[in-house]
Structure 1
Amino acid sequence: MVFELMRLVIKDASPSSNESFELADIDWEGLGFGLIPTDYMYVMKCDGSGNFTNGKLQQFGNIELSPSAGVLNYGQGLFEGLKAYRKHDGNILLFRPEENALRMRNGAERMCMPSPSIEQFVEAVKDTVLANKRWIPPAGKGSLYIRPLLLGTGAVLGLAPAPEYTFLIYVSPVGNYFKEGVAPIHLIVEHELHRATPGGTGGVKTIGNYAAVLKAQTAAKVRGYSDVLYLDCVEKKYLEEVSSCNIFIVKDNVVSTPAIKGTILPGITRKSIIEVALNEGFQVEERQVAVDELLDADEVFCTGTAVVVSPVGSVTYRGKRVTYVEDGFGAVAQRLYSALTRLQMGLSEDEMNWTVEKGAKRGESRETGLVRVPPVRSSVS
């Protein structure tokens, strides 16, 4: 079993080891949030009975699709995002991968798609990460972003679920999502265009949700804003989320965030921050949050896999700009960010049991339990 193999590796990896590790030849100091092609991707097909089997690693590259594929014609596709971090001892940490697996299963049900089991998803993530471990940034230099995809790849002409599905994972080393890094971002509230509607797919991570935000996001960036904050489409006064992350406000040390009600993505970082905040002794409220409360908040911050925790420096709504911080985090956001990232990077004890640790010593076999992966020597300069 893969898990048993990994436990043996962990036991052999000494936390005090000064051993160096093989790394890809790239500029680790200059990582942004963009695709860097790596060595391998993972592919698994769904058979006619709705079961995913025979997953395997193959060299990273283009895939072939029918022009009539369900994902191309009717948008039948989901994606996930999670990260792997390298510890100072070289070991590798995954953060709550089973939560991504569960969210994909829930999304697949909404999109009328079969999906891998939670165990299949998690094991595939582990295999893909270990096959590409030389692309995991050194400790403190970034992370390996992991992108699982579930696609309707079967050919279909009339509107119907695709007859075939593909589960695919690729990875890329990344730095900060926003160009500001951990500096405060600046948001504009969008009150005309909307990201999601009640009864729609705003609460699942389907690919179509993200195309819908591009127009408002592009216009906002032209005007100098970092991103867009959306309101509900019914009353147009309650906060929903930013283009690709959840929103939190802090008032009198009470942490509040819009409740999950079908139009807001149930972010895993969002869920983790709520649990961390409760563990740190804060009062947390999941409820409707009016835009007026946003303008009166002491602090505002965003959460997401890509951004982790991002402080909001200012929000502009109907021409009115409210500033929260000029530089860095507010006190509450800083405390929560530090607690979460220390856990994700293995710098503090994981009392939540959220991380999965894998050994990564030099010379370790790349036998993943599914396929022996031959070494790849190419690199990106």
Structure 2
Amino acid sequence: MIKTISTLRKSANMFSDEQLQTFSKYNAQAASALREERKKPLYQDAEYADLDWDNLGFGLTPADYMYVMKCSKDGEFTEGELSPYGNIQLSPSAGAIYEGTKAYRNENGKLLLFRPDQNAMRMKIGAERMLMPSPSVDQFVLAVKQTAFANKRWVPPSGKGSLYIRPLLMGSGPILGLGPAPEYTFIVYASPVGNYFKEGTAALNLYVEEEYVRAAPGGAGGVKSITNYAPVLKALSRAKSRGFSDVLYLDSVKKKYLEEASSCNVFVVKGRTISTPATNGTILEGVTRKSVMEIASDLGYKVVEKAVPVDELMDADEVFCTGTAVGVAPVGTITYQDKRTEYETGDESVCQKLRSALVSIQTGVTEDTKGWVTCLN
């Protein structure tokens, strides 16, 4: 080691001060040029990426670009920029909350976004709960638009999937004690996806979990953060090993009221009444959930937000789940205390009517009279 250091010193002494200054100046110019080059996204001319769209699953297939925006401890976000998708430098003590929205391609090839402002507001509310700064609604929506447009060749053809867009807010500055991070980073990246569940559009088989809970009153169950999803992994893994699609969780106090599934909200149908657990801080207030409730009311159904007893599942006509990732998914069976109950599914089901109405708006098949859809080109 001593010999190596001595050799390096001798090598350094071989250069004159003028040569070293020239070398440093060259390095600075090269670094500056590289930074400027990274600010200029090289958009791909191809209409579509080279991908097997007919066999698109729900896994990470990174699109070309992501959007990155920094925030210092004063709470002000700097101007963000697009950069090629890739690894980022991150403090080991980082924490994150995130969102999920989608871009669709209509039959004419136009790119459509569905209610990104709602995701922006939900992130803002969640960030306040976690004592984090967050982008403004306008900053958030602009970042999503830029990311979607930059990755337009990764948006599947109409009817073959969607571009899942993941806005991510994390504490990226180092901190050892318990407290807010000194720096935050906002990132938006994208991935083309197909159906979330392996069943595709087939009916799901749910298992009512009685041992584990996902959230408790006063906690952060209503915040879309990584801490909200880690608790479900063990129960979900166990249920899938037994052949179930997902887990349906109960409240943590009495364990007699429905909450939500691992990654989606739940609805119970009886006649013309559609019930769903009220958002009381322990479940996520989904954008798809809110949209489906409004569509159902427009179609003449009575929509009720309330504490839904698990016993109501035994007498329900239908059960379905909603979420950005899952869309509107029918439930074929639910197993509770070793008793399996079957539900109505199919083309004439309430679930299918609501799904068709929602997808028609999202993909531009029917006129958007609610101002939910933004066309990018």
TM-score, normalised on structure 2?
A: 0.87
Q: How many Å separate the matches in 2 of 1:48 and 1:253?
A: 51
Contact 1:21–1:90 under 8 Å retained in 2: no
User: Distance in 2 between the 1:280 and 1:351 partners?
Assistant: 14
Which residue in 2 is equivalent to 1:352? 370
Deviation at 1:330, TM superposition (A): 5.7
Q: Distance in 2 between matches of 1:96 and 1:44?
A: 21
SS in 1 for 2:149: helix
- 1:211: Cα distance to partner? 0.7
Matched-pair contact (CA < 8 Å) for 2:73–2:181: no
Residue of structure 2 equivalent to 1:311: 330
Q: Displacement, 1:118?
A: 0.2
C-alpha distance in structure 1 between counterparts of 2:256 and 2:201, whole Å? 28
Moved >2 Å (runs of 4+): 327-330
* Residue aligning to 1:37: 62
Could you tell me whether the CA contact under 8 Å between 1:79 and 1:149 is conserved in 2?
A: yes
CA positional deviation for 1:237: 0.4
Please give the residue correspondences for 1:220-259 in structure 2 after superposition, counting only pairs within 5 Å.
220-259=239-278
CA contact (8 A) 1:87 1:93 kept: yes
Contact 1:311–1:330 under 8 Å retained in 2: no
Q: What are the within-5 Å matches in structure 2 for residues 190-339 of structure 1? A: 190-325=209-344, 328=346, 331-339=349-357
- Which residue is equivalent to 2:78? 53
**For 2:201 and 2:62, how far apart are their aligned partners in 1?**
25
Contact 2:197 2:326 in 1 (8 A): yes
1:84 equivalent to 2:108? Answer no
Instruction: Please tell me whether Structure 1 or Structure 2 has the larger radius of gyration of its CA atoms.
Output: 2
Residue type at the aligned position of 1:104? M
3-state DSSP of counterpart to 1:300:
strand
Residue matched to 1:159: 178
* Whole-angstrom CA distance in 1 between matches of 2:346 and 2:298: 23
1:267 and 1:304 in contact (8 A); partners too: yes
Pairs aligned (count): 333
Conservation of the 8 A alpha-carbon contact between 2:103 and 2:113: yes
- Alignment check: 8 A CA contact 1:136 1:143 kept: yes
Contact 2:72/2:182, CA 8 A, preserved across alignment: no
Determine if contact 1:302/1:311 at 8 Å carries over to the other structure. yes
Measure the CA separation in 1 of the matches of 2:363 and 2:229: 28
Find the residue that maps to 2:157 and give its secondary structure: coil
Where do 1:342-381 residues align within 5 Å? 342-359=360-377
Corresponding letter in the other structure for 2:63: T
Contact 1:253 1:332 (8 Å CA) reproduced: no
Report deviation, 1:328. Answer: 3.5
Mapped partners of 2:91, 2:132: distance in 1: 18
- Report the 3-state secondary structure (helix = DSSP H, G, I; strand = E; otherwise coil) of the residue aligned with 1:156: coil
Q: The residue matched to 1:276 in structure 2 has which SS?
A: helix
**Are 1:28 and 2:47 counterparts?**
no
Q: What residue identity is the alignment partner of 1:44? A: M
C-alpha deviation, 1:47, in angstroms: 2.5
TM-score, normalised by the number of residues in structure 1: 0.86
1:374 maps to none
Alignment check: 8 A CA contact 1:311 1:329 kept: no
How many angstroms apart in 2 are the aligned matches of 1:48 and 1:197?
30
Q: Check conservation: 1:183, 1:328, Cα contact below 8 A.
A: no
Identity %: 62
The structure where helix makes up a greater share of residues is 2
Q: How far, CA to CA, are the matches of 1:349 and 1:206 in structure 2?
A: 34
Matched residue, 1:7: none
Q: Which runs of 5+ in 2 are unaligned?
A: 1-44
Give the corresponding residue for 1:70. Answer: 94
Alpha-carbon RMSD across the aligned residues, in angstroms, is 1.1
SS at 2:80 equivalent:
strand
Q: Is the 8 A contact 1:249 1:256 kept in 2?
A: yes
